Homo-oligomer: A and B are copies of this chain.
Amino acid sequence: MSSVRRRGFAHERDLARKLWNMGFAVMRAPASGSKAKRTRYPDLVAIMKGTVLAFEVKTTRNPSTIYIKREQVEKLLEFTRRAGGYPFIAVKIIGTGNWRFIPIKELEETSSGNYKITREKLGKGLSIRDLLVIACDHRRIDEYF
Contact = CB atoms under 8 A, between A and B. Distances in A.
Going nearest first, the 8 A-B pairs with the smallest beta carbon separation are: A25-B83, A25-B82, A47-B83, A50-B84, A27-B27, A49-B84, A50-B50, A25-B79
Interface residues of A, number: 31
Interface stretch (A34-42, A89-97, A104-112, A116-124): A34-42
Interface string A67-87: 000000000000110111100
Nearest to A33: B31
Contacts of A48: 82-84
Count of this chain's copies in the oligomeric assembly: 2
A18 interface: no
A79 B16 CA distance: 13
A50 B82 contact: no
Contacts of A29: 27-28, 30
B85 A24 contact: no
A57 interface: no
A50 B84 CA distance: 5
B52 A36 contact: no
Given A28-B30, A30-B31, A41-B28, A47 B84 contact: yes
A51 interface: yes
A38 to B, nearest CB: 10
A28 B84 CA distance: 18
A23 interface: yes
Contacts of A13: 35-36
